[in-house]
Structure 1
Amino acid sequence: MLYKLLCTLLLIFCAASMPLAGDAAGITQYPKLVEADYWTAQNKDGDKLLLDAKGVQFFNAKVRAASRNVPDLLHYPATVSGDSLKTRIMDYLVLEDDLYLHGNKVSENYKNILRKQTNVGAIPATVTPRYAVTVRRSSLRNLPTGEGLFYYAAERNFDVLQETSLDPGEPLVVLHQSANKYFYYVQSVNYSGWISTFNIAFTDKKTWQQYADPDDFLVVTAANVSLKTSGEQVIYQQGARLPLVSEQSDTYMVEAPVRSKTGLLQKQRLLLPRSAGVHKGYLPYTSNNILRAAFAFYDMPYGWGGLKDSVDCSSLVFNAYRTVGVYLPRNADEQEEGAGTKKLLETLDDKQKTAAINSLRPGAALYMDGHVVLYLGQINGVPYAIHSLGSYFSGGQRHVVMKVVVSDLSLQRSTGDSFLTDLRTAVEFK
C-alpha cells in the first residue's frame, strides 16, 4: 500500500513539473521553458568546449571566406577602387518601391534627393580608407538619412533603410561622405552602410587596431550595459567589447570612446561593477553559453535592425555567438549560406525534419525564408526554439507579437505552412 502511495505521489510530482500541452504549444510562457536553466540542464555535453581560441579564429576565417559582407578588417586594402565603391553605394533598389514617410507617400523628387546625397560623383578613381570608431550605439543605414521609410503608411516598426545597429567602440573603415556631410559610408565587421557623422571619431590606424583586435577587454553578456560618458548614457549591447584598463575586487576600469569637437577619438576612463553583466574576455564556446546568451533577450521587444535597443531574429543569433568570439554575418540569409556544419532540411517531410533537428546540438540555428530561430532542445520529441518574432498566422489571421519568445515550430506563416514545414537549413557554427 505504501509503495503504491509513493508511486502515485511520484507520478503527481512528475506531471506537475512538466508543461501541460496547452501551456507548451505554440508560443509558451510556461515558467520553466522560458528560463535558460531548464534547457541547459537538459543539454547533454552542454558545457563541453566546442572550439578553443585558435579554433574560433580558424572558424572566423572560414566565415570571412564564405561571406561577402564580412571582410578581414585588420587586413583591409590600403586603397579601394572608386568604381567598385560606386557600385556598392548606388544600390538604389529599395527606392523602386512605393515608400511612406510619416504616413505620406514619398515623391520621386524626395527619392532623387536621397540619390544625390550619396555623392557618388565625388568618389575618386582610387579611394584611400580612413579609420574611425563609433562613440555611441548607432544605426547603419541603406541611404544617408536618419528618416524612416516604410512600405505601408501606418507601419512604424520595419524601416526599410535600417540595416543594423553598431555598438560603441566598433572599428570602422571610412570610405566616403554624403553631399551634406552629415553621413559617412563605412565598412564595419559585417556590414557596410551610412552612419551619422556625429556618431564616429577618427583616429590613426595603430589606435584603431586596439579596437579591431584588443588584447584586454570585457565582453557584454547581458542584453545591454549602460555607461555614462561625457554627459550621456551610451548602450553597449550583448557581445560588444570594452577595452579593459585594470580590475579591482568589485569593479573594472574600462576605456570608452568619445568624440572631440573636431571629430577625433578621445578616451574616457570609467568604472564598471563586476556585476554589470560582463565577462573578462570571450566566454568559452560551449552550447550552454550560447543558450544563456540568447535568453538574456527573452521577452524583450523585437528590434528591427537593432532598433529599440533590442534584437531582430538574426541579431539575436549574431549577438549570442559573438559573446564566445564567433563573428557571423549580420543577415539571416548570409548566416544560412555562410560557414558552418549544415543539414539541408528543405526536401524532408515534417517527421524527417523533426528527427534531423532533434539530432542537433542546442544552440544550432534553424533557417527559413526571412527568419531564423535558435534550437533549444526537445520535449517528448517536439523541438523548441528561442527567437525574436514579429508575427505569426492562425486561421488566416496575422497575430502581431514583436518580442523575443520561446515556441515550438507549429506556428504558422502567411502561407499557412508551419515553421517546421518551411525550414530550409540547420547550421551548427563549428
Structure 2
Amino acid sequence: MKKILLATLLAGAVCSPLAYDGGYSHIEAAEAVHAGAYQEAEADNLLLVNKTNKLPDDYEEKVDLVTVKNCFGKEFQVERETYKHFLSLREDLLKRGIQIELESAYRSVARQRELIEELRATEGDDYVKKYAAVPGYSEHHTGLALDVTIVKDGSPTNDVYGTWETPYQKMHRRLAEHGFILRYPPGKSAITGYDYESWHCRYVGREAARKIFLQGLTLEEYLSGGRETQNMQGKYGSAAYWTKRNPAGEKELPGAELKQLQEEMRRQNSLLVDMESFPAEVTAEYIREKIKVSRDNYLWFEPENIYENGRPLTRERYRQVEENCAPESLPARQAVKFALTTCRANLRYLPESEGWYEGPRDTHYDLVQALTLYPAEPLAVLAESRDKKYFFVQLRNYVGWVDKKEIVLVDHAKWLEYAAPKNFLVFTDGKKRINMGNGSSLLFQMGARLPLKKPEVRRDGTWLVVMPVSAEGKFAEKLVSIPADETVHKGWLPYSENNVLRQSFRFLGELYGWCGLEEGVDCSLFTADVYRSFGLDIPGDAVEQRKAMPMRKGIEDLGREGKLAVIGNCRPGDLLFSEGHVMLYLGKDDRGEPHIIHAASSRWFPGEGDEGALKYYTRRVTVDDLWWHKTDNGRCIDGLIAIGGIR
C-alpha cells in the first residue's frame, strides 16, 4: 500500500501491468487524432515541473479541465486536449489487445497540501520528507500528466517485472504516436529525480514526443538541447557527427577489391553462395548437410522447455515436425528448382509456421524463425517437406524452409534476370513500402533490389521496375513505378567506411524484430542489410557473421583494458561481437569513448527501484557506448568476444 501511495504522491499513481502479451507496432504513419484540428500550444505542453522547477503561480487558473470517469466509475479532472489524445491512445491500444484506464490525472496544489497533512498524521514527518512531493512541484498540477493502469478481466493489474516484455513496455511503443512520453524511464533517475514509473505518461505533443522517444531522452534532456546521456543522444545520434570524425572514411573501395572480399567470405562460410552460378543439380548428401545446418540452429534447447500457443511443446509434436523434413527420402541427385519470393516471406529453421517460444507469455521471439526474406528474393529450391507445404531453399546468405504460398517457381533463364540483373534498383532506406495497386502494398528493406525495366529515370520522376507476382500459383510479372528519391539507388551504393555509417543511421530508432518479425530488424539482420546495400552478402546470423569476416580477432580472454586497446584499432563499420549479438562500430567520441549502433532487444538497469535489477525491452536500433548493462550484472564491454572487419 505504501508503494502505491508513494507513487501517487511523487509523480503518479498505481503500479501496473499484467501478464498480457498482445502485439504492437513501432511508430508508423500518423492516425487522425480527432475531427477538428487542434493547434498545440507547444510552450505549455513542454512546461517543466519537477523537484527543482515549480509550477508558475498563475498556471492553475489557466488549465482547461474536463471531468471524466474511468471504467470503474472513478472521477478525474484532465486537461481537455490531453484527454482527447489519451482517448486516441486508448483506442489504438484496444485494437492491439491492451486496455488502459486512468488511475490519476490532475491534482491541484491545494489538494497536494491536504494529502501531505493526511500522510503526516498517518505516517509521520520522516515519511513525508522522504517520499511526498512538495506542493507546487508535482507534474500532476499541470493537467498534462496521466497515470494509467492496464485492465485485465475487468480489474486493474500490477506491474510485475520479469525477463519478458511487460504490457506497459508494449504500451510505451505507442505513446509518441499520440503525443505522450514515458516521463520517468529506467536508468534516468539521476536526471528526473524519480525511479522508473511504467505507468506515468506525460503529454508533450506529437513532434516533441517522437524526438524524445527516438533519441531516448527525458523531458529535461530534450529541453536542454539533448545533452549527452547514457543512450542515443543529441549529436551522437547523427551520422554526420561520426563521419566528420573520420575524414579518411570517404575513400571508396574499388569494385574489384569488393568482389575479392566477397569471394573470401564465401570461402570462409558455406552459407554464403554465388546465386548466379548455383548448380542445376546437387547431391542428397549436400542437401542433408544443409538441412542439418538449419536444424542445428534450433536444437540448442530441449522441446520440453518450449511453448506453442502458450502450452508446453510435446516430444511427439516436435518429432512430427522434425520428420516433416524428410531428408531420408531424397534421391541420390536432386535437380534444383528456382523460385522468387512474391512477398515479405519467413525463412524457417523447420517446416513449421506456428511460433515456438521459450515462455508461455512470449509472442515476439519465435525460435523457429531464421530470417525474413524480402520480395523478389532469388531462391534455389533443394527439397520439399513431406506434407508438400514447404520448400527447403538456399538463398545468397542462408538456408531454411519457406512456405510454398510465399514463393513462385520460375524457369532458370527468367530467374537469372532477378539473381543477376544488368540494371537494377536498390532500396537504400531502412524500410520502404511500395504501392502495388488495387489497395495492396509490399514492404521492402535496405539491400533489397528489383530489375529495372528502363535503365533511366522516366519523365515523371520515377523508376520503372519489374516485380514477380503469383497468378493462381503461376509466375507472372508486374510493372511498378517507384519515385526516384534518396530511398533508392540505381545499382549498389559505392562502398566506403562513412557510407556504411550513413546507411546504419537510416535504421536509427527502428523497431527491433526478432529475425525480421513484426516488420523490424534484429542485430544480425541490421548489419546484413547495411552491407547488402553495397552488394556485400554476410550471413543473417551473428555467429555465422563472425566466422565470415575477412578480418577477425578473438578478444574473449582479454580484460577491459585489453579489449579497449584492440577496439581502439578498429575502423568505423567494423563489427563487435558478444555471445549471440553483433554491433556496428562507429568510432570514438570527443572523450575517446568507443560507440556502437545496434538493434538491441533489451538492457538491464541494476538497482532500479524497489524491484532491484530491471530488464527493460528497448527493442529498437540505438547508439550506445560500451558501458550499458547487457546482463543484470555485466556491461557490454565485459561480454565482447570478437571483432570483425570487411577489409
Aligned match of 1:290? 500
1:305 aligns with 2:501: no
1:322 aligns with 2:532: yes
> What's the CA shift for 1:230?
6.3
CA contact (8 A) 1:69 1:191 kept: yes
Change (3 A) 1:286 1:88: closer
> What's the CA shift for 1:361?
1.7
CA distance in 2, matches of 1:346, 1:136: 40
Aligned match of 2:393? 186
1:74-114 deviations in Å (ceiling 9; x for gaps): 22233222244234435372573321011111122221221
Aligned match of 2:312? 105
Aligned match of 2:231? 27
Q: Secondary structure at the match of 2:453?
A: strand
1:182-202 deviations in Å (ceiling 9; x for gaps): 211111111111111111111
CA distance in 2, matches of 1:355, 1:25: 24
Q: Aligned to 1:48, which of 251, 254, 273?
A: 251
More strand by percentage: 1
CA distance in 1, matches of 2:573, 2:646: 9
> What's the CA shift for 1:335?
1.2
Aligned match of 1:410? 627
CA contact (8 A) 1:26 1:409 kept: no
**Which moved further from structure 2: 328-337 or 159-168?**
328-337
CA contact (8 A) 1:103 1:153 kept: yes
Q: Secondary structure at the match of 2:242?
A: helix
1:29-428 correspondence runs (5 A): 30-49=233-252, 51-89=253-291, 91=295, 93=299, 96-97=302-303, 98-229=305-436, 231=438, 232-246=440-454, 247-249=457-459, 250-261=461-472, 263-275=473-485, 277-379=487-589, 380-395=591-606, 396-414=613-631, 416-428=633-645
CA contact (8 A) 2:447 2:532 kept: yes
1:5-24 correspondence runs (5 A): 23-24=227-228
CA distance in 1, matches of 2:301, 2:235: 46
Letter in 1 for 2:414: T
**Which moved further from structure 2: 134-143 or 73-82?**
73-82
Q: Secondary structure at the match of 2:241?
A: helix
CA distance in 1, matches of 2:516, 2:345: 9
Q: Secondary structure at the match of 1:59?
A: helix
CA contact (8 A) 2:605 2:632 kept: no
CA contact (8 A) 1:230 1:258 kept: no
**Which moved further from structure 2: 160-169 or 30-39?**
30-39
> What's the CA shift for 1:311?
0.8
CA contact (8 A) 1:140 1:193 kept: yes
CA contact (8 A) 2:339 2:409 kept: yes
1:2-26 deviations in Å (ceiling 9; x for gaps): xxxxxxxxxxxxxxxxxx9x95343
Q: Secondary structure at the match of 1:267?
A: strand
CA distance in 1, matches of 2:467, 2:599: 29
Letter in 2 for 1:365: L
Aligned match of 1:5? none
CA distance in 1, matches of 2:641, 2:319: 38
Q: Secondary structure at the match of 1:245?
A: coil
CA contact (8 A) 1:256 1:269 kept: yes
Aligned match of 1:8? none
**What TM-score comes out, normalization by structure 2 length?**
0.60
Q: Secondary structure at the match of 2:510?
A: coil
> What's the CA shift for 1:181?
2.0
For structure 1, the residue ranges without an aligned partner over 5 or more in a row are 1-19
CA distance in 1, matches of 2:261, 2:290: 27
Aligned match of 1:10? none
Q: Secondary structure at the match of 1:424?
A: strand
1:117-136 deviations in Å (ceiling 9; x for gaps): 22334322221111111111
- What's the RMSD between the two structures over aligned residues? 2.0
1:165-191 deviations in Å (ceiling 9; x for gaps): 111111100011222222111111111
CA contact (8 A) 1:148 1:160 kept: yes
CA distance in 2, matches of 1:104, 1:42: 52
**Which moved further from structure 2: 310-319 or 221-230?**
221-230
Letter in 2 for 1:255: V
CA distance in 1, matches of 2:567, 2:631: 23
Over 6 Å off, 4+ runs: none
CA distance in 1, matches of 2:558, 2:322: 45
Which structure has the larger Rg over C-alpha atoms? 2
**What TM-score comes out, normalization by structure 1 length?**
0.90
Letter in 1 for 2:308: L
CA distance in 2, matches of 1:330, 1:305: 8
CA contact (8 A) 1:328 1:335 kept: yes
CA contact (8 A) 1:25 1:408 kept: no
> What's the CA shift for 1:376?
1.1
Aligned match of 2:130? none
CA distance in 2, matches of 1:326, 1:334: 15
Tell me: higher relative CO, structure 1 or 2? Use CA pairs within 8 A at least 6 residues apart. 1
> What's the CA shift for 1:229?
3.1
The count of residues paired between Structure 1 and Structure 2 equals 407
Aligned match of 2:127? none
CA contact (8 A) 2:228 2:234 kept: no
Letter in 2 for 1:245: K
CA distance in 1, matches of 2:405, 2:537: 26
**Which moved further from structure 2: 78-87 or 270-279?**
78-87
Letter in 2 for 1:287: E
For structure 2, the residue ranges without an aligned partner over 5 or more in a row are 1-223, 607-612
Q: Secondary structure at the match of 1:225?
A: strand
1:325-372 deviations in Å (ceiling 9; x for gaps): 111111111111223223433333322322332332211111111111
1:270-314 deviations in Å (ceiling 9; x for gaps): 111012610111111011111111111111111111112221001
**Which moved further from structure 2: 332-341 or 183-192?**
332-341
